[in-house]
Amino acid sequence: MLVLSLALFAFLVSMAAAIVTDLSTMTIPNRLVGVVVVAYACLALASDASLSLIGLHVLTGLFVLLLTFGAFALGWMGGGDAKLIAATALWFGPTLALWDYLFFASLLGGALTLTIILARACLRPTTGNTSVDRLLDPAAGVPYGVALGAAGILVALRLPAMQSVLGLI
């Protein structure tokens, strides 16, 4: 149970870190995505999940990685976003949780994008704060890791495994 708890905690902390780093630097570090993947590996090894179920989760992550890297190659998303979505898909596997994650990420991402567009239209990028000025720069992208991290946290908190761990606290 300790390994399960630590893996779930690592996932939640990684999603929160994705929010903070993408908001402040417009990047999602590779090591952060690596923590998500390693935490899933620990979870899979410590759980009583069958090899076929673990394999389905891995195939889901790889399939999503293929799709998101296609989107990255077309310039539709950042590379960090592509990797984070795939690593999160590894966690949720071919379940409704993955669809919930994609739905919440889209919903939150749309709200984030609208907010940034409005802020850029109303404010000037001369606050003196590098992170804020970067967000207000019309030439900059949208830190979609904010939506991805928030969606990951929302969905993970609803997982039965997370509910059982939270019940112990």
- Rounded Cα distance between 145 and 126, Å, is 24
Q: Which residues contact 119 (CB under 8 A, 6 or more apart)?
A: 135, 136
In tens, the pLDDT along 80-122 reads 999 999 999 999 999 999 999 999 999 999 999 999 999 888 8
Return the higher-pLDDT residue of 139 and 14: 14
Residue with tokens 């590379």: 79
What residue numbers bound the domain in which 14 lies? 2-168
- Rounded Cα distance between 152 and 53, Å, is 20
Domain total of the chain: 1
In tens, the pLDDT along 23-70 reads 999 999 999 999 999 999 999 998 888 999 999 999 999 999 999 999
Q: Kindly report the pTM of this predicted structure.
A: 0.90
| Signed CA dihedral, 81, 85, 153, 119: sign only | positive
Helix (DSSP H) and strand (DSSP E) numbers for the chain: 8, 0
pLDDT at res. 124: 73
pLDDT at res. 169: 47
Evaluate if residue 127 carries a pLDDT over 90: no
